[in-house]
Amino acid sequence: MKLRFAPSPTGLLHVGNARQAVANALHARRHGAGFLLRIDDTDAERSREEHVVGIQHDLRWLGLDWDEMVRQSDRTPRYEAAAARLKQVGRLYPCFESEEELRAKREQRLRQHRPPVYDRAMLRLTPEQRAQAEANGKQPYWRFRLSDGTVSWDDLVQGRTEVKLSSVSDPVLIRADGTVLYTFASVVDDLELGITHVLRGEDHVSNTGVQLDIVEALGGRPDRFTFAHLPLLLDEAGTKLSKRFDGLSLRALRHDGMEPTALVAYLARLGTSEDPQPLGFDALAASYDLRRVSKSPARFDMRQLLALNRRTMHVMPFGQVRDRLPEGATEAFWNAVRGNVDMLSELRHWWDVVSGSIVPPVQEGETDFLLQAIDALPPDGPEHPWDETTWPRWTEALRESSGRKGRALFHPLRLALTGEEQGPELRDLLPLMGHERVSGRLRMAAS
């Protein structure tokens, strides 16, 4: 049993790519299968080496590793050999129509209320006509002649699935410049590299029907493959998740402070009836079951992911995040704030609150109370160090002297000391801030 993740190095990995990578990696781990990273870089114009490096970095950040890695650009001789076999048996045929000619044919078929399927005109090309076209400087591109039947398989997510090949145009497998397209290269790779399970998006269902026909034409057994087509991802508005939305690239999420374990846990449960839990990779793999994935599109909800990220950070020990905290941040600081941030990028503000400078908002009508709060502050020194008891002692004294309680007592203090309406417990923040900073903030807010 062997699976693969096959990204194209033409841009950044996004959550849609990551969902497929996670599904393949979890399924492989659960069943003790091999896991291949295949870089689909046959498109030389758009593929970039920096994206190959970025893909590897993103996958390792997620905690995903692979047993082997191949590049399609290194396998050109294998594709040429496979193409020669298809040409020999008459399944790969040359075509010379231009894009304009093909577009005119499609438009004509649509006007006639017929499906815009390629008419196989080039199958009737005589040797003399081909020689004449090439003499005029035209280079052929090559189409695969599909069978006339129906291809079917038992999909691990979609159930029994069928593709009627007569409703699909014969696919172009080789461009005029000799480069192969994904449809063909992927089949050759899957056959020769021992892939048994293909997990990918449901937008590939038609491709699967075509590729199984190519498998058979190359002498392979279509039933050696097991497929799972994951439903598309929708955004919070219910529309198709755009790959061009940079905010959902793994690089952007990592930069914002998203925890990779939270993202993997969220993607693992996305589209199932199970609530995401802050679980490690092995625990997720042990219970991962593609049969629990709904056939309906899944909605990617950033608020739900942030909530899971918060829960994940809440149980993370200081040692696991020390290197990513603001310089000088202590374990006491981490323990105080970790349950009140959605992502690590928010910690910069709270570090400024406890050890730096902020400008608290002016509170109309609260000047006398804030000055009274300064007078009620407990001393801070070797004999009376500020600790978790300082806040309750201070607010109890202030309650008795001011007659305030509840929100009227606590809200002005929180605004003056943190500049925020809500946040970590002030009982935990006060010892980190110290008497001088607290009294200075209160005086500034009262002015």
Does 1.10.3210.10 match the CATH number of domain 331-446?
no
Are the C-beta atoms of 115 and 101 separated by less than 8 Å?
A: no
Q: Distance between CA 393 and CA 398 in Å, rounded? A: 9
Q: CA–CA distance from 77 to each of 204, 236, 253 (Å)?
A: 26, 45, 39
Give the model confidence (pLDDT) of 212-226 as tens digits.
999 999 999 999 999
pLDDT at 247: 63
Residue among 180, 178, 285, 301 at smallest CA distance from 233: 301
pLDDT at 237: 76
Are the C-beta atoms of 365 and 380 separated by less than 8 Å?
A: no
pLDDT at 47: 93
Q: Distance between CA 406 and CA 278 in Å, rounded? A: 34
Q: Give pLDDT tens digits along the chain (447 positions).
A: 999 999 999 999 999 999 999 999 999 999 999 999 999 999 988 999 999 999 999 999 999 999 999 999 999 999 999 999 999 999 999 999 999 999 999 999 999 989 999 999 999 999 999 999 999 989 999 999 999 999 999 999 999 999 999 999 999 999 999 999 999 999 999 999 999 999 999 999 999 999 999 999 999 999 999 999 999 998 887 787 765 455 689 999 999 889 999 999 999 999 999 999 999 999 999 999 999 999 999 999 999 999 999 999 999 999 999 999 999 999 999 999 999 999 999 999 999 999 999 999 888 899 999 999 999 999 988 888 999 999 999 999 999 999 999 999 999 999 999 999 999 999 999 999 999 999 999 999 998
Task: Tell me the whole-structure pTM to 2 decimals.
Answer: 0.86
Q: CA–CA distance from 367 to each of 307, 343, 362, 364 (Å)?
A: 37, 34, 9, 7
Give the model confidence (pLDDT) of 114-123 as tens digits.
999 999 999 9
Please, what sign has the CA dihedral across residues 235, 240, 245, 251? positive
Which residues are CB-contacts of 104 (< 8 A; sequence separation ≥ 6)? none
Q: Distance between CA 14 and CA 246 in Å, rounded? A: 8
